Amino acid sequence: MRASLDTVRSALLALGAPAQNRRSVAFDYDDHLILLDHEREEFLTTAAVGGPNAFATASWLAHQLEDFGCPVDGVLPPLDVVSA
């Protein structure tokens, strides 16, 4: 979309999307986009991976993070994409 991050954030907040006590960041890795969302109260970080081989990349990322001392609870299978 052609809008600033602040504008999109404001729109999402106006729609009722909660943002308090959370911190999110995105990374580009090869052909993949990795989104991280951290919940401060739960001390839990969720990662979402998108791209051509998202599940393989997510599994690889989970192993790498565990090697860095970040325990991973699990890797969920890819979402089924429904075409309109």
Structure confidence by residue, pLDDT tens digits, 6-56: 888 788 888 887 766 678 889 999 999 999 988 888 888 999 999 989 999
- Quickly state the pLDDT bin for 83 (edges 50, 70, 90): low
Is 80 exceeded by the pLDDT of residue 84? no
Other C-beta atoms closer than 10 Å to the C-beta of 56 total 13
Tokens representing 44 are 């839990």
Predicted structure pTM score: 0.71
Q: What's the half-sphere exposure (Cβ side, CA atoms, 13 Å) at 74?
A: 3
The one-character DSSP state at 18 is -
